[in-house]
Amino acid sequence: MNGYNRKSPQKRRYDMPKYAVPPKKKAGKERVPQPKNTVAMLNELRHGLIYKLESQTGPVHAPLFTISVEVDGQKYMGQGRSKKVARIEAAATALRSFIQFKDGAVLSPLKPAGNLDFTSDEHLENGIENVSIEQLVELIQTLMLPEMNSNLTSLEQPTLRPQIFCMSHNANKNTIAVDGQKKVPDKGPVMLLYELFNDVNFECMNIDGAQNNCRFKMTVTINDKKFDGTGPSKKLAKNAAAKAALASLCNISYSPMMAPQKNAPLPIDDKSSSMELPQIHADTIGRLVLEKFMEVIKGQEAYSRRKVLAGIVMTENMNFCEAKVISVSTGTKCVSGEHMSVNGAVLNDSHAEIVSRRCLLKYLYAQLDLQCNQATAYQSIFVRNTDGQYPYKLKSGVHFHLYINTAPCGDARIFSPHENDTGVDKHPNRKARGQLRTKIESGEGTIPVKSSDGIQTWDGVLQGQRLLTMSCSDKIARWNIVGIQGSLLSSIIEPVYLHSIVLGSLLHPEHMYRAVCGRIEKSIQGLPPPYHLNKPRLALVTSAEPRNQAKAPNFGINWTIGDTELEVVNSLTGRTIGGQVSRITKQAFFEKFGFLMKNLPGMPTRKVNKDYGETKADVKDYQTAKQELFSAFKREDLGSWLKKPIEQDQFGLVE
């Protein structure tokens, strides 16, 4: 019209609905594993290799890359039109050097071969050393599997050089610092895992917790092996799963113990030693304690609420495949002053790690009970000590490992987890670090001890003075001097020390080391043998526990191996929720001690002092070691050890 031919705009057409539903994945479809190339095969034999670009030649449109890889001090080269191809060729060159024949000949690149018979002598005559990459990978896989290698019966049967299977310290050169100490890998765990392995599959298994406190679980599958990781986000859970896989398959650790600490003291006198517990062992300890907690809490889920979880695991000859969980406990509170007992019938300290140690004492008494009967003596973890002043000692190779889901309260937890406070202290006169600290009655947290003679009175506490208890960090430091067996058992067995402490979160190497042993290592002296300063190995699990903002409950649970059910204790009263005396009180242990003194074979004396406090005081070497510990804290100007009212130990043995 009017000489104009105007076209009306066409409407857009949609081939799909506005909100298209993505096609559903076919159920039951299995993931086909990718075939391995030479890089993946070489990484299985030697972990942590570094590929280096040596040169790039040729025109821009057709470059030729040369890449090298160093294996056991020997450099191997590879060329290709892309970096990936060059890397594969470099790995193939290294793999060829791994194969040797009976006469000592090795494969080296010459020319391609067709169908290769490795059982013949032809490789020596016509230079058949240049095996194709596919054949090379297949051959090495065959040689690594004995059942597949059995059909090669010729005298000229090829084999892998023996040192290929020796995963020495050279296998992880990129994780060793200049000073000989290990360091954390530069790359993230997920990226490194994809570089080392060809077939990596992550999967989100389930989600636990409320919307504001979610807990994700990721599983990574590598070569038909599964590794789990948990975290407050999918990313952190994925990182945790990758760390677990790297620790198990490659012995690569991302533990904070690996990070260089500028101002940290040497943890062990021998510089070649490491204070770090292997990551795979730490993860096993954490997993065993968590699994046992979930097992024993079944049927009493109302008491599963907790902030701190602790447990003790026992191993023999460091065999973690047969490790036993000795105790599991929860709790964060101490007894109220008005509920103190003059009969040793209450638990003064219901913090989880302290309760777990008391459960271990119950286990040690039970193991000594086995020695009272000749028919069951062989089942005990103790043996007769024929060459010492103590009648019994632990069997050789028996170790105890403490797990806590967070850093112990006190000195080990006085730091900011998001600030790097290592290096030179800008306030050298500050005395907050290393100070003895006390827990607050019926509450959480600790405060530094005051410069006093360390005495609390019974009537003062009943009048309203707060009952103070030494922090868990201080008590663990005490265990590393006098042992975890307590004063009563110290008259029967040699001191027992923790082999390792594994944390579920908040592990700061410098602060943790200082708290448990480092602050007194220079001042401790005059310990009667076999008492000594124990330096436990430290580790953090890969799946760290998140910060729990919930209010701490007023109860705690405890379980010891051999118990048919768990015990629930009111932390404020120190008794069970039914008002009964707990099975791990001073009163209960004093009765067990009296039984052992009367029935245990080989005891030099059968006399038992009827007073609990006097019985403890009679163990001279233990008391000497304890007093030397208190003196060491004073010499370092870290405060005085605060003692409970002496009336608490003035009770007798029940006939």
Tell me which residue of 424, 325, 393, 389 sits closest to 528, measured CA to CA: 389
Return the DSSP state at 441: T
Catalytic position from the list 89, 276, 353, 510: 353
**Helix intervals (H) in 171-278:** 189-196, 234-250
| DSSP code of residue 179 | T
DSSP state of 429: T
What are the φ/ψ torsions at residue 534 (nearest 5 degrees)? -85, 140
**DSSP-assigned beta bridge partners for residue 560:** 327
* Identity of the residue numbered 142: T
d(C-alpha 550, C-alpha 305), whole Å: 9
What is the CB neighbour count within 10 angstroms for residue 65?
21
| DSSP state string for 427-456 | -TT---TT--EEEPTTSSSEEEPPSS----
User: Which of 634, 517, 106, 590 has the alpha carbon at shortest distance from 343?
Assistant: 590
Q: Could you give the 3-state DSSP secondary structure of residue 537?
A: strand
- For β-strands 500-503 and 398-404, DSSP reports them as parallel
Inter-axis angle of helices 133-144 and 83-98, nearest 10: 40
Return the closest-CA partner of residue 473 out of 404, 425, 401, 522. Answer: 404
Which residue in 224, 226, 260, 223 sits closest to 242, CA to CA? Answer: 226
Asked if 614 is an active-site residue, the reply is no
Give the integer Cα–Cα distance in Å for 605 and 587. 22
Q: Which active-site residues does the annotation give?
A: 353
